[in-house]
Structure 1
C-alpha cells in the first residue's frame, strides 16, 4: 500500500514521518511543497503518475490565520485550488484522498461541540478558504475523507506549545486569552487517526457511505490560558501567567469563541481512540 503525503515539512507531515516506521505495511512517499506543488495541476499529475499511490494525505495548507486577511488570494490558491487539483488527480488515478480542514469554518457561536452536520459560517479568510477547499473536493471526487481538526501542536514547526515554551524561557510574566474555548490536538494523534482510517479502508471495511466529513481533536476542552497553564505546569516553568479577554489582544482575524469538535462519528465508524488533551507530549 502506497500513501503519498503532501506538505511533508509541516507539522502533520513531520508527525507522520515520526511514526512511519511503525507501519511496515505502508510505503510512505513524502513530498514537500517545493517537490509537489498542489497549486500546479500538471505537477500533481506528474508526481501521481510516478508514485502510483493508493491514498493521498493532504497535509499542505496556508495556515497563517492573521496573514490570510491581507493575503486572501494566496490563501485561496493554496487552500482552494490546491485541494481541487488533488481531487482531480485522485479521481484520475483512483486514489482515496484524506484532506485536513479546520474548526475555523465555524463562527464560534455554539454552546455545545460541533458535529459534522452543523452549518459552517467562517468569519475570516482562512476559514472561508478552508471551507471552499472542502466543497471543491466534495464536488469532484466521492472517495474522500475530510478531517476537521483544531489547535494543532507538536514538537515540530511553529505552534502554541512551542511558543509558550519559548516565552516561558524568556519572560517572567505572560498574559493569555481565556475566553476562546476549544481543544488542543496532538499532531501525532491526528496522524495516527488518519492511518487508522487508511488501514480500515485497506481491510475492505469501508463502504461508500463512510466517505465524507469527520471531526478529530483530542478530548475535552479548555481555553488558551488553560492550555498555557498546563504547558508551564508539566514543564516545570515558573511564570506569572495572567488570563485576559480577547478584547485585550486584538488580531486581524476573528477567532471562534467556541470551537470544540464532537468526535462521536470517527470513534463510532473507525474505532479511533481519543486521548484527553492534557496527555500531550512533553518536549
Structure 2
C-alpha cells in the first residue's frame, strides 16, 4: 500500500506539469492598434481578457489614419480597432487584412466638453456665444472624431466663426488633453473619454445628437500578421462577447 502511494505521487505531478506546460504553450500575445478614443475601454477589457483566455493584449494608441499608414509600412500589428468602418474595409480590399474578420465593435458618440463645471450647456449653445478663445478638435484627416466635429460645425453654420479658434490635436487623446489642461476652454471629444457608468464624470458637456454628423461606426479587423494567431482570434471573439459588451456600453458607446 505504501509502495503504490509512493509511485502514484510523481505520476500526478508529471501530469499536472504537462497540463500547465500545455496551457502556457497555448498562451500568446496579441499586438493591437487601438483608436485613441477606445483607450479606456480596451484597458478595462484587457485585464479580463488575459484572465479569461491566458493571452496578453499589447496595445498601441493613436489616430486611425496614422495607424493605416503604419500598417501599410509593415507595422507588427495583428488586430486593428479603428475609429471608423472605412479604414478597416480599405485594408481588407487592399489584402492587408483577413477577409471576413471585420466587424463593428462599437458605435461612438461625440461630445462637446469643458473641464469647467457649467461652461457647456445641455444644448451646446456655448458654441454660438463666442465667449471662448480656443476650441479643440482632433485632426479631421486622421481621426474620425475630428471629421465628425467639422461636420457638426458645418451643420450649425459655425465653420467660419470658429476657424480662428480651432486648436487641432493629432488624435482625440490630444484634443482631450488640450481641454483637460485648460489650453482650450472647450473641445469636441469622444464621449467615452469623459463618461463612466452612465454619467459625465467631470466638467460639463453637450452630447452631440447623432443627426449632426456621419455615424461613427468603429470596426475591428484581423490583420495579415495575425491570421495564424490564436490570440488574435481569441481577442476578436472576446470583443463580441457579453463581458466586453458590458464594458463598452459603460463608456457610452452603442453596440
Which of the pair has the greater relative contact order for Cα pairs under 8 Å at 6+ separation? 2
Q: Which has the higher helix share?
A: 2
Larger Rg: 2
Q: TM-score, length-normalised on structure 2?
A: 0.33
Q: TM-score, normalised by structure 1?
A: 0.31
More strand by percentage = 2
